[in-house]
Each structure stands twice: as structure tokens, then as C-alpha cells.
Structure 1
Amino acid sequence: MSETAREAILTRIRTGLAQPAPLPPRPDFTAPVHPPLAGDDEVLAFAQSFQGAGGEFYYCETRAQLAVQLATFRERQQLGRPFVWEPAMQEILRAAGVAFQADETEFLAHADWGLTSCEALVARTGSVLVSAASASGRRLSIYPDQHVVLARPSQVVAEIGDALRVMQQRYGTALPSMVSLTTGPSRTADIEKTLVLGAHGPRRISLFLLEDE
């Protein structure tokens, strides 16, 4: 390298060091991570996100419609009676004329599907927040081949953070021993990148949204 070229390079380096690049703008850590949800209808946003994650969504305006939808679902899937352990869920199904299994008799052998409530529904991700606080406990949302959720539009919140705040307001410091965000059916592609459904839990998740009374 000639002395002239070497001096030219050193000159550019000195100039650059004398005028350091400006620092990037400081991020606003109080700003939302995600952009606002499209539209103002969080229930619609949840339904779209839930189906996009692989869930089956059913809207029921009345208990009569719920009974028809559940009967059609059961016939199409060729299922027996659902296991339903929560008194509030049992009351709704009993009033709608839907037969169910209220105890754990033959649960391990015939747990084709379990019906549970939930703590909240997250519009952003289409997730269902469940916990061990209900009579369904830990097992009814995990063990059966199909997990069916009965929820209300008033349970829909925009973000995961909103759902967690619902839990804090509801339980305070006595949070349930298990809190789980379920987004679509259980799946894995760990082995040779082949997608397998039902690897760690239910192979199918369905949600019946019954209008608030």
C-alpha cells in the first residue's frame, strides 16, 4: 500500500472518530407491543384468531341453539356424552336438555371429550385461558381427546396481559395452582418436522360462545 493511500484511509478514520454516529432513538417502553386490533369488535377478532390457530368456533345466541349445536357436533364427531364436572356448566346443559356425564365414572376409558368453562378469551392470539380453580381441575382440559369450551362474549379481552389482570383481580394473591393459555389443539413437529396433533393434550379444541344472559 502506498503512503498516499494509507494516509487517505487514516484520514477517513480520524474524521469518522471525530463525528461519531448518532445514537438510535430511545424506545418507548410504555407503548403497546402490538398495533391495535383491527376494528372495535373484540369478539369477532377472537373468533378469527381462534379459528386461525386451528380451533372450531360455534356461536349460540340462546340455550336452545346451544343444544342444537352440541347435538350436531356430537353426531358429526360420533362422540358419547361429554364429561362435565362444573356445577354451573351442568346447570346450563341441563336447562338446554343436553345429556352429560357429571362424575368420573369410566373417565379414563371413555374420555372422548370434556366440556369446561374458562377464565378468559384472548382476542389477539385466539387463546383460551383455563385454570385449576374450577371443578374441572387440571385433567378435564388436558386428558380427553377433544376439549370443548363453553364461554361468554363478556369473557373476551384484547391481550394476554388483560387476561392475566383478570386473574389477578379475581384471585388476588391466591392464584390457582395451574394457569394455562391454550392456543389451538396440542401439536408438535419436533420429530423430523412432521406436525402431529394431540401430542401433549387434546387433538381438537372447540369453543361454543353462548350469548350473555
Structure 2
Amino acid sequence: MADSSRDAVLARIRQGLAAGPASLPPRPDFAAPVHPPLNNADAVVAFAESFQRVGGEFYYCESLPHLAAQVAGFRQRQQVGAPFVWEPEMQALLYRAGIAFQADETEFIAKADLSLTSCEALVARTGSVLVSAATASGRRLSIYPDQHLVLARPSQVVNEIGEALRVMQSRYGAALPSMVSLTSGPSRTADIEKTLVLGAHGPRRIALFLLEDDAENSPE
């Protein structure tokens, strides 16, 4: 019985050797896209849908007066003061739009309930906002305040995270900012007993105001 079992095993080994080596698996196409096409061919619409799906609040603004009305409505609903804004170009735009803001750090630690910053790019696939420490907002304005407002333009929308990183590489070359953050919705955690908590590691609310690229030239 033992000899017959041994002979059967050896016979299968001989058959396997006679058949030659196993064929190699097909070579993957590394140039092929990893993800399926976006749900919407318009990347801006796809971003808005993804951004809201991860918990962000999206506001479209076609002109500076429209932006002012949207920001005022947000502040009224949330019962918050004027946002801290430290980027000179952003301050100049808000001044033209008639939007109040806090330009310095006076009482920032005690009253940082709202901030407004720019961003590097917007990712349609994930609804993410790419921010960095390269602007005058630094690290703090996108992390410390309870609520974070972002002002961006449609031209900043890209389809994938890889494209957003290439935007950074093209913009900064080898001198990348010391902090780059891909923010997808408000800060959240469920580490403790799987109970969802917002604002655990950053702002508990993020809102994006998408201002048309030619808004400054739009009729009021």
C-alpha cells in the first residue's frame, strides 16, 4: 500500500516536470488607470458631489457679491464671528468683496472659531482639499480653528490625487512645503468604543466656497 502511494506521488511529479515550467502570469498594464471613470464627466461637479459625500459643505459663488452673501449666510447660521485670514491676496479679495475678517493673531488662541484659507488643489475623486504650509496661513489656520472655510477656484480642480501631487511638484519643485495635508471632510474619529466624534484632531466643520475664476470681472 505504501509503495503504491509512493509510486502515485512520483508519477504525478514526473508528469508535472514533463509539462515544463508553469506559464508566467500576465504582465500588468501599469499605464492603465487604477480607478474607473468619475461619476460625472465635469470634474467640478464630481468634486462637489464627493466633497459633500465626505461631510463638507459646498457653496458655489459666481461673483464677489455672491461670495459675500454666502459667507454672511454661513456665519449667521453658525453664529460665529469674522474669520481669521492671514494671506495677503485673500485679504485683498475679501476687502473688495466687503467681507469682514480678522487679519492679525490678536486673541487667536481664545477666539479661533473660524478661519478662511486658500488651498493648493481640489481632488474630484475623493472630495479632498489639498492645503500646505507654503501660504501665510501656515499650519495653524487649517488645523486649529473649530471651523475651516476654504476659498478656491474651479481651475484648481483635478481628477485624481496623483494629479494634485504633480501640481505641487510643478509649483514648488524640490522645495516642497514642510506640511502638505489632504483633507477629506471634517476631522473625525471613532477610536473610542466606535463612537463617531467630530473635531477630534482638527476642525469639526469644513466648508468650501468655489468662486468663479473670472468673478472679479463679473457684473455686480
Same fold, judged at TM 0.5 (above):
yes
Letter in 2 for 1:18: A
1:15 aligned partner: 15
Percent identity reads 77
Structure 2: how far apart are the matches of 1:100 and 1:201?
A: 21
CA displacement at 1:12 relative to structure 2: 4.0
Structure 1: how far apart are the matches of 2:104 and 2:205?
A: 22
2:106 aligned partner: 105
SS of equivalent to 2:73: helix
1:49 aligned partner: 50
SS of equivalent to 2:151: strand
CA displacement 1:143-166 (0-9 Å, x = unmatched): 001111000000011111111111
CA displacement at 1:15 relative to structure 2: 2.8
Letter in 2 for 1:53: V
CA displacement at 1:189 relative to structure 2: 1.7
2:186 aligned partner: 185
Structure 1: how far apart are the matches of 2:204 and 2:41?
A: 32
> CA RMSD of the aligned region, Å?
1.7
SS of equivalent to 1:130: strand
2:74 aligned partner: 73
Length, aligned pairs only: 213
1:156 aligned partner: 157
Does residue 58 of structure 1 match 2:70?
no
2:89 aligned partner: 88
SS of equivalent to 1:25: coil
In structure 2, runs of 5+ residues without a counterpart are 215-220
More deviation, 172-181/2-11: 2-11
Structure 2: how far apart are the matches of 1:183 and 1:14?
A: 57
1:128 aligned partner: 129
Structure 2: how far apart are the matches of 1:34 and 1:173?
A: 28
SS of equivalent to 2:55: coil
Letter in 2 for 1:43: V
SS of equivalent to 2:45: helix
CA displacement at 1:70 relative to structure 2: 0.7
In structure 1, runs of 5+ residues without a counterpart are none
CA displacement 1:9-55 (0-9 Å, x = unmatched): 55445434433543221112222222232342110111111111111
2:197 aligned partner: 196
Structure 1: how far apart are the matches of 2:34 and 2:194?
A: 30
CA displacement 1:108-146 (0-9 Å, x = unmatched): 001011000001111111111111111111100000011
Letter in 2 for 1:15: Q
SS of equivalent to 1:208: strand
Structure 2: how far apart are the matches of 1:3 and 1:53?
A: 66
CA displacement at 1:80 relative to structure 2: 0.9
CA displacement at 1:85 relative to structure 2: 0.9
SS of equivalent to 2:101: coil
Structure 1: how far apart are the matches of 2:101 and 2:155?
A: 25
Structure 1: how far apart are the matches of 2:161 and 2:32?
A: 15
Letter in 2 for 1:186: S
Letter in 1 for 2:18: A
**TM value normalised by structure 1:** 0.92
SS of equivalent to 1:134: coil
Letter in 2 for 1:194: T
1:206 aligned partner: 207
Letter in 2 for 1:33: V
